[in-house]
Structure 1
Amino acid sequence: MKKIISIILLVLMIFIGCEKKIEKSIEVVSREYRAIWSEDYNFDTPILIDNLSDLKNFIEEHPEQFANENKFLEDYNEEFFKSKLIYIFIKSESSGSNNISAKGVKIEGDKLTLIINREVSEIGTADMAAWICLFEVNRSDIKDIKTVGYEIIEKN
């Protein structure tokens, strides 16, 4: 009798959707830069860039703090966006001494999570910093994604 009840419960769990979501990591190219800080930026929200024009506009609206132009734009062209896209994450920091870096992504079920490293300096400065993290993702890897979130890993 206990075996029958156990089997019924197992079958119900499968049909109800209680099965464990499978997490997978995918290979991505990630990069980051420190932008000129602005309170108008869309902080802490993943932004999808799926064409070269939108990427150029984003870079123009979020210029690098220590250079006239982002040299990595040379790596992107229309061909790139045929098979890939970019998710961007903007993180505001109250100290320019803190460091933000794009680590990678993971997929769990139909959710894509951007993984960001945050290193807090022991002695900070009093200047605001805006860090831009870019995650290049293959379109085929995320065809079933319905939501995009982020996870910040604190390092001290």
Structure 2
Amino acid sequence: MKRILASLAAVVVLTAFLSGCVQKEPAGENIVFTGVIEQINDSSILVSTTDDVSFDKASVSYADNMEGLDFNLIIGQMVKLTILPQIAESYPVQVKAVKIELVSEPALSDPEHPNFTASFFRADSYSNNSQEYIMANAENADKLIISSARHLPVFLIDDAAALNDFISAGSEHYQFDVEYGEDGSFADAVKKYDDSFFAENRLLIVYVQEPSGSIRHEIKDVAINDGTLMVTVGRKVPEVGTDDMADWFIVLEFSKVATAKCTGWDAVAE
């Protein structure tokens, strides 16, 4: 009988050893700690701990009774986790969360500020479908419908053929060949951008519609953050102005090297 009991005990120990994961006895109370999200999986997250706990990393799965999240999980967030007392001893330890709360969002990296040259051209609309044309072709069309900021449509031009297509199609809606003031027409001004220019440079064209032709613009900032180049356009609004609508096309020149990592293009009015 003793031999049978000893054999059973050996089997239990061997099974626990082969599983590679021994459960700590429940402490009776849930454990609370903070951590930074390093990885997000379908049913778990990997966090590195920032509190003085007995482990430095944890694979956190979701308990059946976990409270619903009121935020989206993002790598780099600091979160406060309430977990069940059972901790599976592996590396990283495996735990189950009953509550995850947001402490802080990921820190943003310092933005880059590429050099640029800007030119401003007025070219008013004469088509009833001009806004549809803008919405259909803007790089940032998804940000133009509903937003807390006033996003401005932008158009990325990487070669002379694309510029010619933009002028040709846009001329059906805007007076690209009409001269306003001393700057000449928009169509004439952009003829200087040829294949030689586009070999090392690109254009970003920002469209602005104003309720008065007296309003002017300036570029307040250009920054690249997390792969998106953002242009901030300042508006110079006089105390007294005309009541005519005005459409403006702001042409910004950038080096392709300086903007090589950009995957998004956007603009906002300040």
Coarse TM-score class (shorter-chain normalised): 0.7 to 0.9
After TM superposition, the structure 1 stretch with the greater mean CA deviation from structure 2, 39-48 or 67-76, is 67-76
Is the helix fraction higher in 1 or 2?
1
Q: Counterpart in 2 of 1:152?
A: 269
Cα separation, 1, equivalents of 2:261 and 2:167: 28
State percent identity of aligned pairs: 22
1:36 aligned partner, one-letter code: D
**What RMSD in Å do the two structures reach over aligned CA positions?**
2.9
The unaligned stretches of length 5 or more in structure 1 are none
> Match of 2:201, as an amino acid?
K
Contact 1:22-1:109 at 8 Å conserved across structures: no
Q: Is residue 2:116 matched to residue 1:8?
A: no
| 1:46 Cα deviation after fit | 0.9
Question: In structure 1, what is the equivalent of residue 203 of structure 2?
Answer: 86
Residues 102, 115 of structure 1: 8 Å contact kept: yes
* Mapped contact 2:119–2:251 kept (Cα < 8 A): yes
Match of 1:53 in 2: 161
- Which TM-score applies when normalising by structure 1? 0.78
* Whole-angstrom CA distance in 1 between matches of 2:49 and 2:246: 56
Task: Report 1:9-48 matches (<5 A).
Answer: 9=50, 16-17=75-76, 18-38=106-126, 40-41=130-131, 42=134, 44-48=152-156
Please give the TM-score of this superposition, normalised by the length of structure 2: 0.47
Greater gyration radius: 2
Deviation by residue 1:28-65 (Cα, 9 ceiling, x = unmatched): 11111111224504173111111113223434524144
**Which whole-Å CA distance do the structure 1 matches of 2:201 and 2:111 have between them?**
21
Contact in 2 for aligned 1:32/1:102 (Cα 8 Å): no
Q: Secondary structure at the match of 2:257?
A: helix
Q: Does the 8 A contact of 1:96 with 1:129 survive in 2?
A: yes
- 1:31–1:101 CA contact under 8 A, matched in 2: no
- Residue deviations 1:66-111 (CA, integer Å, cap 9, x gap): 2456443343210111111111111000110111234552111211
58, 72, 80: which is aligned to 2:189? 72
Amino acid of the residue matched to residue 84 of structure 1?
N
Q: How many residues align?
A: 147
Describe the shift of the 1:89–1:68 C-alpha distance in structure 2 as closer, same or farther (beyond 3 A): closer
Gapped regions of structure 2 (runs ≥ 5): 1-34, 36-47, 58-74, 77-105, 136-151
SS class of match (1:24): coil
Q: CA deviation at 1:20?
A: 2.7
Matched, 1:95 2:218: no
Distance of aligned partners of 1:105 and 1:58 in 2 relative to their CA distance in 1, 3 Å threshold: same
